[in-house]
Structure 1
Amino acid sequence: MSIYRIGIDVGGTHTDAVILDETNQVISETKSKTTVDVSTGIYKAMKKIIEEANVPREQIKYAMLGTTHCTNAIVERKRLNNIAVIRIGAPATLAVKPLIGVPDDLRDELGRYVYIVRGGHEFDGREIAKLDEEELYRIANEIKGKVDSVAITSVFSPVSDSHEKRAAEIIHEVLGEEIPVSLSSEIGSVGLLERENATILNAAVVNVAKTTATGFINALKEEGIDAKVFFGQNDGTLMSVDYAVKYPIYTIACGPTNSLRGASYLTGQSDALVVDVGGTTTDIGVLIESFPRESSLAVEIGGARTNFRMPDLVSIGLGGGTIIRIKDDGSFTIGPDSVGYRLPEKGLVFGGDTLTTTDVVVALGKVNLGDPSKVAHLDKRLLEAIYQKMIEMVEEAIDKMKTSSAPVPVILVGGGSILLPESLKGASKVILPDHFGVANAIGAAIAQVSGQVEKVYSLDELGREQAMNLAKNEAVQEAIKAGADPDHVVIVDIEDVPLAYLPGNATRIRVKAAGPLAKVEEEQKV
């Protein structure tokens, strides 16, 4: 019996969907408008590819979703959990309160129940103060019935997470096991405020992830499909529903990473630059051994500075729907705003009233789309200057992402990649693969499941070999928890950074393990 899988990726302009067979060949693909509520667009795209594929529905066993639900909830300040923020770090951290530097509207939304209790650790693992369990019991009773999620951050918890874990036990004891608790040691790295912010945002979008997962599973069942559901995460791999509900923040920026993974699969290139041109933006990322390069910088999400893992991307305001404005003196501007998913009604070649980048390439005869006669009156010399500027914007972004001046392979994906030529400065070759328009959905569908651990170890206590083995074993277990096949998990990335400013010959070890999907279980549960 053949087994099929669905891959869906939600972008700012389009929701892309594919069905793949067991050899990962595309059976059906579609692009549909992303809707304001996101979910409607997902269901429409899914329904269309299922009807077109005409495969037995009982043979569709996997469904992968790359979604912007959690990102949108944070950016729009909507549908966020009622949360409590508990920092373990008094008296050492009283001068800098939680949520400092976060935009006022987000602080108002998430900062109603904020507490700092005695406890935490020094950078070498020694206790700053004994954990104030009595205060934690008092807090738990105070917030009972008022919050539906809790974020706990302890000073230097990547070195020692014992206080966070004990605090979580107390919260669950009083509030019940069903209340989600986010621990900073499981989400961010060293750096208290950024790690705390990441943990707070994670706690804030738990219900969004749960609602999205439930809706997706129910939509599949309405179509007669009992598939195992996975979410795309921002390192180019997948996670199970349970894992996604526990760590929903990892879905942020999964769209561009799906495109990178899809580009690698479609071209067979393991090391390249990927230029993903959508309707609104162009995202440029780097493939290293078929996985996205990770950012080493703190990343702002919804105005909050965080330090959890994120892909290394450059985004520019150039897409298929980007608006071109021509001034009276003959000068022009490109974007950064876009007509987005309204391109088929707003673009000149489709009978609209707005000059876009798509109109420019059609008028210059580079793309056959819509009605070229509607842009035949435009000044070709001016359009050529606009087109050259568009290319320069992309070439400049490519240059920013390269680590040397040597030319590298560049893969074009995304529906808007028809805007770009067959050669670009800085590229050894430009590849436009088959199915380039739905590379993101393909990336979601073919992705492996991963687990990652990032901790500080004292080599004086453990020795380097034992520390490495501990980190590897933990990463493998994380991958299995996320839904990987236990028999086929392998270590795909190891990073080992000595920390000269910490005692005990300390080193930060990051290990990623990945493997294929575990065999289908009897039933999917949320």
Structure 2
Amino acid sequence: MLRIGIDVGGTNTDGVILDEKNNVIAKAKTPTTEDVTTGIVNAIDAVLKKSGVDPAEIKYAMLGTTHATNAIVERKNLAKIAVIRIGKPATLAIKPLTSWPADLVEKVGNNIYIVQGGHEFDGREIAPLDEEEIRRIGKELKEKNVEAIAISSVFSLVNPEHEKRAAEILREILGDNIPITLSHEIGSLGLLERENAAALNAAVTKVIKTAVGAFKAALAEKNIDAQLYLTQNDGTLMTAEYALKYPVLTIASGPTNSLRGAAFLSNEKNAIVVDVGGTTTDIGILVNGFPRESSVAVEIGGVRTNFRMPDIISIGLGGGSLVREENGEIKVGPESVGFRIVNEALVFGGNTLTATDIAVASGRCSIGDPSRVKNLDRNLVAKATEKIKSMVEEAIEKIKTSPEPMPVILVGGGSILVPDELKGASKVIRPPNYDVANAIGAAIAQVSGEVDRVFSLDQIRREKAIEEAKRMAVEEAIKAGANPDTVEIVNFEEIPLAYLPGNATRIRVKAAGYLSK
């Protein structure tokens, strides 16, 4: 049984086909297209032609896509949503979507409601859920033709019953075709950020449905009958059905695919990964083979959220980065020719000096027509080479939490720009197939489930709380498509919340397993 992995980047869409032992049978790079979907089709076509395999042998297909990210950033193809907060009278001071950019609120529709209900930190009701008000809202939303709904409730991570009951009532009125996002399934502590994450999830349900449909159609066109998975931003997979429910989890999956691919290709579990693409360089840290998670709230398209995101530093350096001299100083990026590099870079017959041209002129690699850069000013080449090196070294220092040198793994097609010796690196590794580490990371990924809950240890014994959290994480992994026999706990974190009474503690658990056969 073969697997095909596709990863959509800002410049290139990469594809690989792996055998049962995770050996690379074929790999391909094609330019990312403006509609994204065409680039995916082209990548599938290219890797099939290179491999010569029978499409019927491919049983698994994994996609890492930027569809959801692009939709939020570009304000395109977003669903018309309603946000229902359960928290009256305790949460009337700040309305839902208050902090959102005005143009984004306009795109998703300013349909916001606050109803009576919610819970205290220890699970006790603040007030009973106003079910009649939920019914009235449901009838109103039916007339407004809302396409998706987000429901958030005070301390729903402790007690989600009001969110679940509100969803039941709305489904009775609206049917099962309108996606309903419950904030306790998406975000973490902090009502506003969790509510934002749920609302963003609801907003991108339509675009991910289109993306999944297009991927299925592309596979069918090539006679590939495979189970379809999408990559999550924690470096693991979820089934297409799970992705349709939680599309926001695909945001930032590209860098995490590269980190997982780098870990697999290098056999390093704890290292810094430098992923150089055509437009940007993403730097992240591997902890036990998985991306280190960000400990701070993350903004997406101008919206502050608190759902899990990888800890990534991005800088404007890539193969297509423009190189110019200003006031005697060499500047590289952040402007880039992106996927137009194959036409605009000097070595490809164009007239734009890019970072790739500098790499070729310095002798680091031989791409295109090296003769077109052999007469470049040597002083310019040396300064630009040093500038590229210092940009990467500064980013490495920023992401490290210790002054000790760490292994650095270079991946991505643009990593030819980076030298083999870097300050702060104990060693620099450029593994085989480094140029398609992202697609490999998608293809070899495991399936995971995660739980982030607050427990009152006055209400439940600590051992029981831990056992319950682990059970829930395993269940989530199985729902996401993992083989129950292979699921194991890969991350456990317990944080006592001293500022809350009731002996409260926050427990975060991640479980992961291999694909169901």
TM-score normalised by structure 1 residue count: 0.97
- The one-letter amino acid of 2:277's match is G
Question: Residue in 2 aligned with 1:96?
Answer: 94
Aligned 8 A contact 1:85 1:111 in 2:
no
Q: How many Å apart are 1:131 and its aligned residue?
A: 1.0
Match of 1:289 in 2: 288
Work out whether residues 277 and 414 of structure 2, in 8 Å CA contact, stay in contact via their aligned partners in 1.
yes
Matched to 1:180, the amino acid is P
Q: Which amino acid aligns with 1:453?
A: V
Structure 2 equivalent of residue 416 of structure 1 = 414
Q: Once the 2 structures are TM-superposed, how far is the Cα of residue 56 of structure 1 from its aligned partner?
A: 2.1
- Distance in structure 2 (CA, Å) of the matches to 1:100 and 1:256: 30
Equivalent residue for 1:481? 479
Q: Which residue in the other structure is 1:245 paired with?
A: 244
State the distance in 2 between where 1:121 and 1:335 align: 50
The alignment status of 1:276 with 2:265, answered yes or no, reads no
Structure 1 counterpart of 2:386, from 388, 392, 396: 388
How far off is 1:25 after superposition?
0.3
Separation in 2 of the partners of 1:502 and 1:331?
54
Summarize the alignment of residues 146-185 of structure 1 with structure 2, pairs less than 5 Å apart. Answer: 146-185=145-184
TM-score by length of 2: 0.98
SS of corresponding position for 1:342: helix
SS of residue paired to 1:156: coil
| Equivalent residue, structure 2, for 1:361 | 359
What is the CA–CA distance in structure 1 between the aligned matches of 2:410 and 2:72, rounded to whole Å? 30
Deviations 1:484-513 (A, max 9, x none): 001111111000000001121111000000
Structure 1 unaligned segments of length 5 or more: list them: 520-526
What is residue 368 of structure 2 aligned with on the other side? 370
Deviations, residues 394-442 of structure 1 (Å, cap 9, x unaligned):
1011111111111110000000000011110000000001100000000
Counterpart CA distance in 2 for 1:14 and 1:159 is 43
CA RMSD of superposed structures (Å): 1.0
SS in structure 1 of the partner of residue 394 of structure 2: helix
Say which of 91, 110, 113 aligns to 1:112: 110
Unaligned runs of 5+ in 2: none
Q: Distance in 2 between matches of 1:410 and 1:376?
A: 30
Q: Percent identity of the aligned residues?
A: 63
What is the CA deviation profile of residues 263-304 of structure 1, one whole-angstrom value per residue up to 9, with x for unaligned ones?
Answer: 010011111110000000000011011100000110010110
Residue 312 of structure 1 corresponds to: 311
Assess if the C-alpha contact under 8 Å between 1:320 and 1:357 holds in 2: yes
How many angstroms apart in 2 are the aligned matches of 1:403 and 1:278? 25
Query: Aligned partner of 2:429: which letter?
Result: I
- The answer to whether the Cα contact below 8 Å between 1:253 and 1:310 also exists between their aligned partners in 2 is yes
What letter is aligned with 2:335?
D
Matches within 5 A, 1:491-502: 491-502=489-500
Which aligned runs of 4 or more in structure 1 are off by greater than 4 angstroms? none
Which amino acid in structure 2 is aligned with residue 9 of structure 1? D
Q: How far apart are 1:382 and its partner, in Å?
A: 2.4
Q: Name the CA distance, whole Å, in 2 between partners of 1:59 and 1:368.
A: 36
1:335 corresponds in structure 2 to: 333
2:458/2:503 contact within 8 Å kept: yes
Aligned equivalent of 2:464 = 466
Which digits, 9 at most, give the CA deviation of each residue in 1:190-218, with x for residues without a partner? Answer: 11111111100000111111111121112
- The residue identity in structure 1 corresponding to 2:402 is S
Q: Give how far 1:221 is off.
A: 1.3
CA distance in 1, matches of 2:370, 2:44: 32
Map 1:188-227 onto structure 2 (within 5 A): 188-227=187-226
**8 A contact 1:4–1:21 mirrored in 2:** yes
The offset of 1:123, in angstroms, is 2.3
What CA distance in whole angstroms lies between the structure 2 residues aligned with 1:393 and 1:362? 19
